[in-house]
Amino acid sequence: MSKHNCQDAVAQVYFYLDDEIGWFKKARIKRHLKKCPPCEGAFGFESHLKAMVRERLREEPQPEVMDRLRAYLKDNGSDFGR
């Protein structure tokens, strides 16, 4: 797993959750999540966050949400955000 894939997967999570990307990208992200526990954890974390954000703001994710996600990944041993 490379940093690149992690960044890509995380960057696409919002679109994934919003069903804004095609099946090919979804499959790619899913494949990455399967072999990358930090990202998989972040994905669940992100789903939760996203639901909260959507409820409260009903608009685009805020930058601090991404910061929290980065912090989470860092705590879980990912190279994301370096």
Site residues (vs Zn ion, CB under 5 A): 6, 36, 39
Query: Among residues 31, 24, 25, 22, which one has the least CA distance to residue 11?
Result: 25
Nearer to Zn ion (CB atom), residue 39 or residue 69: 39
Query: Among residues 50, 69, 71, which one has the least CA distance to residue 61?
Result: 50
Least distance in Å: CB of 70 to Zn ion?
Answer: 13
Least distance in Å: CB of 54 to Zn ion?
Answer: 24
Nearer to Zn ion (CB atom), residue 11 or residue 52: 11
**Could you tell me the two tokens for 14?**
């919002």
